[in-house]
């Protein structure tokens, strides 16, 4: 899937109409430029970059990530405030304790590699475009399930802008967006892309890719290749 560039926010109906038009245009068959058309400009598209490289590409059989597309407006966490050093100076355990959804995992120890239960090192990226780093926190459990939470800071307050979970979660960035990958129980993987919409990281795509079964060899596949046929000119 081509990465989605940053775009202007549109009302729900207008955004749906634009996305529908883009899908139809992408599925249409074309033979090149239309009459009177000009060649589109070429731009370099961002490539996915792993947020936690050690956890990237892990694909045991497990259900896909759960991503909620209908979340209440984010409210600031109670009991914690951001100091002059920003989110990077905050105690990650204190933030997790202040968030009711992550509180059960807040007192777990830190981990530096996959295969153990605990909290991964927090990462800091500007996902909201305000030139300030946001905090990404992931915690792995003994069952193999992981949670991912993202926090941003406004006016000294900490706001949770994303919460999702799955098994063997790996996280990548595509430009300003997050791509959360997790294996599917049927094989293949699920990839959910999140984009900052001005209030939270909302889902812009949710794609499942399944592994194709190998095609059984037919009569045509069993015929000798030209290189395998005896040469009339001898060896």
pLDDT tens for each residue of 59-106: 433 333 344 445 567 999 999 999 889 999 999 999 999 999 999 999
Distance (Å, whole) CA 136 – CA 152: 9
pLDDT tens for each residue of 179-212: 999 988 778 899 999 999 999 999 999 988 876 5
Q: Which residues contact 54 (CB under 8 A, 6 or more apart)?
A: 112, 113, 114
Question: pLDDT band at residue 153, thresholds of 50, 70 and 90?
Answer: very high
Give pLDDT, residue 161: 96
Say if CB 193 and CB 69 are below 8 A apart: no
Mean pLDDT of the chain: 75
Three-class DSSP category at 170:
strand
User: Which of the residue ranges 91-95, 124-128, 151-155, 185-189 would you say has the lowest mean pLDDT?
Assistant: 185-189
Say if CB 201 and CB 178 are below 8 A apart: yes
- DSSP code at position 232: T
3-state SS, one letter per residue, for 101-167: CCHHHCCCCECCCCCCCEECCCEEECCCCCCCCEEEEEEECCCCEEEEEEEEEECCEEEEEEEEEEE
Distance (Å, whole) CA 147 – CA 101: 10
131: left (phi over 0), alpha (psi -120 to 50) or beta: left
- DSSP code at position 100: T
Q: Which helix (H) or strand (E) holds 208?
A: strand 201-209
The β-bridge partners of 66 are: 165
pLDDT tens for each residue of 30-52: 333 334 444 444 445 566 778 87
Give pLDDT, residue 150: 98
The β-bridge partners of 203 are: 194
């Amino acid at each position: 899937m081509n990465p989605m560039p940053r775009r202007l926010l549109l009302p729900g109906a207008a955004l749906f109409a634009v996305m529908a038009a883009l899908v139809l245009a992408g599925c249409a068959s074309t033979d090149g430029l239309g009459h009177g058309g000009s060649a589109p400009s070429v731009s370099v598209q961002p490539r996915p970059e792993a947020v936690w490289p050690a956890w990237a590409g892990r694909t045991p059989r497990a259900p896909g990530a759960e991503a909620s597309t209908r979340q209440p407006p984010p409210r600031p966490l109670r009991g914690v405030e951001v100091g002059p050093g920003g989110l990077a100076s905050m105690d990650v355990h204190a933030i997790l304790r202040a968030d009711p959804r992550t509180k059960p995992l807040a007192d777990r120890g830190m981990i530096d590699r996959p295969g153990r239960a605990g909290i991964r090192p927090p990462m800091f990226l500007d996902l909201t475009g305000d030139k300030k780093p946001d905090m990404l926190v992931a915690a792995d459990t003994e069952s193999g399930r992981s949670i991912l939470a993202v926090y941003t800071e406004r006016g000294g307050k900490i706001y949770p802008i994303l919460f999702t979970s799955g098994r063997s979660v790996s996280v990548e960035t595509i430009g300003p967006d997050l791509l959360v990958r997790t294996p599917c129980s049927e094989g293949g993987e699920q990839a959910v892309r999140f984009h900052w919409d001005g209030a939270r990281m909302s889902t812009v795509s949710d794609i499942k890719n399944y592994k194709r079964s190998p095609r059984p060899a037919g009569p045509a596949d069993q015929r000798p290749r030209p290189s395998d046929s005896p040469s009339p000119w001898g060896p």
